[in-house]
């Protein structure tokens, strides 16, 4: 049974004391995320619409008197130690590279400019964001570690409401710069060519709001969801996403090829973000069939994101659900990043009264579906998924019932 957040945090503080011999100075919490609509649009300079979920990665931390970083991952029972003066990639443990990268780029890009030096840190890490489920446990780790490293330096980014300590020094670091720093750590130290969405929502999430993010300008807006009597139900296929990385690179290349061809008629475009649906219909016949399918999906998905925001503003939640369903159809048929298991979960959900919308979320070829579900239909969805999915696939699924939660937070001085 999953531990309640307060129990998990209390346990984390106790384990920190047990491991290091004194209480932590503070605990950072950063959430996982799920994307409601706007999939595979980020690397095409498009729009995404994620939410933070109320599942968190927590780091209990305390400042050290040296430049050592001593980490203990409670859930994995693994330790990692490195020196801030000589930060290098390391193969073991793999999760340590996320923190190495964050520490490196904080020092290089932020602290030296402001006249600060990165301090050593002792930390214990634990959480309830499912790992390898496509819910961005890695981004949560990056954001939490960035705030922890800043915290032991007595620093916090201004105007975010992240901190509960009024005495800490604020530095003028725009939140999206910190998100980009965390993204760079994942790209260059963990070797994962992710976009900026995951780190952004983990940092900027707000309860009962989704984040409308423009992946070109990095402008963002908090959009109220008003999900009264509605829950997020995330269904995990428990299929390893073995094709996701290679197929991701192929889709990216296919989109770039489409832009290159379309520039013959629209020379000012630099990405599919610049192509309207009307313009695309004029020239789509000039594209090779596969390229045409990929580009059509991206152009349509950007339009769906904007339509989804309009639907929320008009309080037309059923329209929002239909757009989610259409997104899955596009991912399945045109972009071809779904799989049988994702389609089965989506088909089950879409057949149930009270399920507003259902789609795959994330890179695809496994991972999770996201479902907007009225509370009185959640039990039926759970029952049918737990019965029908194993019968049709031979795999036991996992189901996570979530609310839309807040982004990263720091709680100080209550663990001694």
Q: What is the 3-state secondary structure (H, E, C) of 58-96?
A: EEEEEECCCCEEEEEECCCCEEEEEECCCCCCCCCCCCH
Helix axes 137-152, 96-106, angle to 10 degrees: 50
- The answer to whether residue 279 is catalytic is no
Contact 415, 13 (CB under 8 A): yes
User: In sequence order, what DSSP letters do the residues of 278-335 get, joined into one string?
Assistant: HHHHHHGGGS-HHHHHHHHHHHHHHHHHHHHHHHHHTT-HHHHHHHHHHHHHHHHHTS
**Phi, psi at 346, each rounded to 5°:** -70, -40
Cα–Cα distance for residue pair 105/110, rounded to 1 Å: 7
Cα–Cα distance for residue pair 145/28, rounded to 1 Å: 8
Tokens linked to 49 = 């619409």
- Of 25, 198, 274, 406, catalytic: 198
Beta bridge partners, 410, equal 28, 163
Beta bridge partners, 124, equal 60, 72
Does the bond joining 159 to the residue before it have cis omega, within 30 degrees of 0? Answer: no
Query: Helix, strand or coil for residue 265?
Result: coil
Query: How many CB atoms are closer than 10 A to CB 196?
Result: 22
Q: Which residues are catalytic?
A: 198
């Amino acid at each position: 049974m999953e531990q309640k957040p307060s129990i998990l945090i209390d346990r984390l503080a106790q384990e920190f004391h047990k491991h290091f011999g004194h209480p932590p100075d503070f605990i950072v919490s950063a959430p996982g995320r799920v994307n409601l609509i706007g999939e595979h649009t980020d690397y095409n300079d498009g729009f995404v619409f994620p939410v933070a979920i109320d599942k968190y990665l927590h780091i209990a931390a305390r400042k050290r008197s040296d430049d050592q970083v001593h980490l203990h991952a409670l859930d994995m029972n693994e330790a990692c130690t490195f020196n801030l003066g000589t930060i290098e990639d390391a193969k073991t443990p793999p999760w340590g590279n996320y923190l190495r990268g964050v520490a490196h780029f904080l020092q290089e890009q932020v602290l030296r400019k402001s006249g600060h030096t990165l301090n050593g840190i002792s930390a214990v890490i634990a959480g309830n964001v499912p790992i390898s489920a496509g819910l961005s446990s890695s981004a949560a780790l990056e954001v939490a570690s960035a705030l922890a490293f800043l915290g032991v330096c007595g620093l916090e980014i201004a105007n975010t409401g992240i901190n509960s300590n009024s005495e800490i020094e604020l530095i003028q670091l725009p939140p999206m710069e910190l998100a980009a720093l965390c993204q760079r750590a994942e790209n260059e130290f963990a070797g994962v060519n992710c976009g900026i969405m995951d780190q952004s929502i983990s940092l900027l999430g707000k309860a009962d709001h989704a984040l409308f993010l423009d992946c070109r300008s990095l402008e963002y807006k908090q959009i109220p969801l008003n999900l009264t009597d509605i829950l997020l139900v995330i269904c995990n296929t428990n299929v390893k996403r073995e094709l996701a990385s290679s197929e991701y690179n192929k889709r990216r290349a296919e989109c770039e090829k489409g832009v290159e061809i379309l520039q013959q008629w629209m020379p000012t475009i630099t990405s599919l973000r610049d192509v309207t649906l009307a313009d695309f219909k004029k020239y789509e016949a000039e594209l090779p069939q596969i390229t045409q399918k990929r580009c059509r999906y991206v152009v349509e998905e950007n339009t769906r994101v904007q339509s989804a925001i309009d639907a929320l503003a008009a309080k037309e939640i059923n329209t929002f659900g239909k757009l989610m369903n259409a997104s899955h159809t596009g991912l399945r048929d045109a972009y071809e990043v779904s799989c049988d298991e994702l389609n089965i979960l989506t088909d089950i959900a879409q057949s149930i009264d009270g399920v507003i919308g259902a789609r795959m979320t994330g890179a695809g070829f496994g991972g999770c579906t996201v479902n907007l579900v009225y509370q009185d239909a959640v039990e039926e969805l759970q029952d049918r998924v737990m019965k029908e999915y194993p019968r049709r696939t031979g795999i036991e699924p996992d189901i996570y019932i979530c609310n839309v939660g807040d982004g990263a937070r720091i709680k100080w001085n209550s663990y001694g």
